[in-house]
Amino acid sequence: MIRSMTGYAVTSREWAFGVLNVELRSVNHRYLDLQFRLGDELRPLEPLMREAIGRRLTRGKVDCRLHLVSHDGGGKPIHVDTALIRQLAELNRQVKECLPAGRDLDVGEVLRWPGVIAQQAVSQEQLQSAAITLLESALDELCTTREREGERLNALLLDRVVQAEAHASQVRPLVPQLQQAFRDKLTAALKEAGADADNERVRQELTLFAQRVDVDEELSRLQTHLDEARRVLQQGGVVGKRLDFLMQELHREANTLGSKSAIAETSRLAMELKILIEQMREQIQNIE
């Protein structure tokens, strides 16, 4: 199965420390180009995420967003240092023994005491395990969408291959007519220039030139390239670059066919071939 480089996936999951969200977007690119948008607390995970994506994808520009929403509404989970609070209570009792008229510490003063309230950091091990698990799930979804789009592209390209073969097959019966048209044009040009078109040497040159403008070789190469394109599409896998090369070769043969055309019908068929090849080339830019 071939895969498109265009796809989208988003997934989220709740963990003990909060909710993680992963969003993946991919478009066509010559190579694998990864862009990450991560919060500060998630930045150390980028190398592992880059490695995980590289194991699943080979081409495409991929935008990866990973976002953490903690259960406290945005900041890290917090807790109070109960041991420190007990120490403050004991100190408050000792001070009261010395200064009975003194005022007790209130709750607000205790909570504002340095070190009483501390943020509980999520361990990197927890984040790493959760993030990679969620990323793999998002990659499953992304690959599914790319394969689904690739299946559509595969059917479209195979249909274009069949159409191109049909156009090429219509040219072959016209080869004798094409050669005769060249001979007629050259004969007329020679007569206009005052040369004797019935001269044996001139007739030999006309025959040789007609052979040089024979399109049979171009038609054979066209069919060979179309057969290879069909084989590659049916084989599947990472085939985008190979198909792109085949389109260049097909376009070259179609151009040559058009340049050798001396009658309207072969010119039309050569143009139709080039249109089909260009349509295939545009779609192939999206194939991994």
pLDDT tens-digit profile of 38-50? 987 888 999 999 9
Q: Which of 17-21, 203-207, 270-274 has the lowest mean pLDDT?
A: 203-207
Residues 141-170: what's their mean pLDDT?
94
Confidence at residue 76, expressed as pLDDT on a 0 to 100 scale: 52
Band (pLDDT 50/70/90 cuts) for residue 274 is very high
Q: Which percentage of the chain shows pLDDT scores above 70?
A: 82
Q: What does the DSSP assignment read for 118-176?
A: EE-PPPHHHHHHHHHHHHHHHHHHHHHHHHHHHHHHHHHHHHHHHHHHHHHHHHGGGHH
Q: Identify which of 41, 37, 12 has the alpha carbon closest to the alpha carbon of residue 25.
A: 37
**Which of residues 194 and 93 earns the better pLDDT score?**
93
Place of tokens 């004797």: 196
Q: Domain spanning 7-74+125-146 has what CATH number?
A: 3.30.230
The amino acid occupying position 149 is E
- Edge to edge, the sheet with strand 18-27 lists 7-15, 18-27, 60-70, 32-38
Band (pLDDT 50/70/90 cuts) for residue 272 is very high
Strands 32-38 vs 60-70: parallel, antiparallel or unpaired: parallel
| 74 burial via Cβ count (<10 Å: 0-12, 13-18, 19+) | exposed
Band (pLDDT 50/70/90 cuts) for residue 120 is low
Cα–Cα distance for residue pair 251/219, rounded to 1 Å: 12
- Residue positions counted in the chain: 288
Q: Identify which of 67, 73, 74, 62 has the alpha carbon closest to the alpha carbon of residue 11.
A: 67
**Which of residues 92 and 175 earns the better pLDDT score?**
92
Span 192-233, pLDDT tens digits:
656 555 666 556 665 656 555 667 788 899 999 999 999 999
pTM beyond cutoff 0.85:
no
